[in-house]
């Protein structure tokens, strides 16, 4: 079964308790359950992870890129959180791995502090989903499927 990866960056382990007025009260386990449901609806397996460490994300991105090249995975949904706005390393890892990636943000980062308006991930992402709450993850999975899954003959 083909896998879709969903990687989450720093502080997303605090989802549901950190700034609920911005991010809501849903916890990361609920996000994972919704992603699992969305992936299953497309006949995909889900590999869902969270880390607070930039280097770990780089390692995972390279791992996911290798899986795509082997035909075992479709691509990545990435909520890099604060690393979106600071990490050239994530940009380079996605680019180097040639990994189909959809960037996702729970909040509308463009309506927040100006430092959140810039993304190092966006230039190497196939698409971006911003401001749809946790529902953005399912939209991102759908986008990966629409853009990167070969059409099946009937």
**112 has binding-site annotation:** no
**116 has binding-site annotation:** yes
Between CA 121 and CA 52, with CA 16 as vertex, the angle to 5 degrees is 45
Q: Is 91 a catalytic residue?
A: no
**106 has binding-site annotation:** yes
Q: Is 105 a catalytic residue?
A: yes
**110 has binding-site annotation:** no
**134 has binding-site annotation:** no
| Catalytic entry in 83, 91, 105, 120 | 105
First-to-final CA distance of the chain: 19
Compute φ and ψ for 147, nearest 5 degrees: -90, -30
| Catalytic entry in 23, 83, 120, 137 | 23
**8 has binding-site annotation:** no
Known binding residues: 79, 85, 92, 106-107, 116
Known binding residues for substrate: 79, 85, 92, 106-107, 116
Which residues carry out catalysis? Answer: 23, 105
């Amino acid at each position: 079964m083909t896998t879709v990866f969903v990687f989450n960056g720093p502080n997303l382990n605090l989802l549901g308790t950190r700034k609920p007025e911005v991010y809501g009260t849903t916890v990361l386990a609920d996000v994972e359950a919704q992603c699992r449901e969305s992936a299953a609806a497309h006949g995909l397996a889900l590999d869902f992870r969270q880390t607070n460490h930039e280097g770990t994300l780089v390692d995972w991105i390279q791992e996911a890129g290798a899986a795509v090249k082997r035909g075992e995975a479709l691509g990545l949904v990435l909520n890099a959180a604060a690393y979106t706005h600071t990490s050239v390393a994530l940009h380079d890892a996605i680019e180097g791995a040639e990994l189909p990636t959809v960037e996702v943000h729970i909040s509308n980062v463009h309506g927040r502090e100006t430092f959140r308006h810039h993304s190092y991930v966006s230039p190497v992402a196939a698409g971006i989903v911003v401001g749809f709450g946790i529902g953005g993850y399912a939209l991102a999975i759908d986008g990966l499927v629409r853009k990167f899954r070969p059409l099946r003959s009937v």
